[in-house]
Amino acid sequence: MKTEPITTLLFDFDGTLLDTNELIIQTFLSVLGKRYPGRFTREDALHFIGPSLKQTFDSIDETLTEELILEYRAFNMEMHDQMAVEFDGVTETLRILKARGIKMAIVSTKRQDVIQQGLKLMGIEGIFEIVIALDDVTNPKPDPEPILLALKRLGSSKEESLMIGDNSHDIEGGQNAGVRTAGVAWSAKGETFLATFNPDYMLQHVSELLEIVDGYHS
């Protein structure tokens, strides 16, 4: 069976293109530390990276979810530009991919305004044709809805598309949507953890995408 070349790249954002891991960890520790002193550790906060805020806070106390989300967003937005930084080679690689005519989209569990803030910080507002955020869908990753929506808006098929991310939600979401998947070795949860979800690729550096789309070997 012939495997189609990859012409479309779908990226998670936080933890994949923009290193917001420390920002996220510190936000969770600040918000939860006020409410539950001493209960949550840095290791706990690592497990909160990836799921939507609602999913995370529902697992702690559903009656406080909305309040905790508001507190989280306030702290996170205030500290965002001070603590977030792009991963090595991201901007350069994305610009090359764009110049080669690769179709690209963001598919994230973050809100649209937070993603746009990150894109602006990185200076890549015009790179992505489509940005699918939490507020664009009913069911976030690992549900296939956001990935399928991105493909529909891009006019791309599942067979020519690759979902790239740093978390299990990205890999499982891609698999549920029927696209190929790539984990990133710089995931805060570690390459070994991500490998257990069997992505088609494991990127050691973002520039490896240039080889994947340029001379794909099945």
Query: Which residue numbers are catalytic?
Result: 12
Q: Within 13 Å, how many C-alpha atoms sit on residue 46's CB side?
A: 8
String of DSSP letters for 107-129: E-SS-HHHHHHHHHHHT-TTT-S
The answer to whether the CB of 178 falls within 8 A of the CB of 139 is no
Instruction: Tell me the backbone φ, ψ of residue 104, rounded to 5 degrees.
Output: -135, 145
- Separation between Cα atoms, residue 161 and residue 171, nearest integer Å: 13
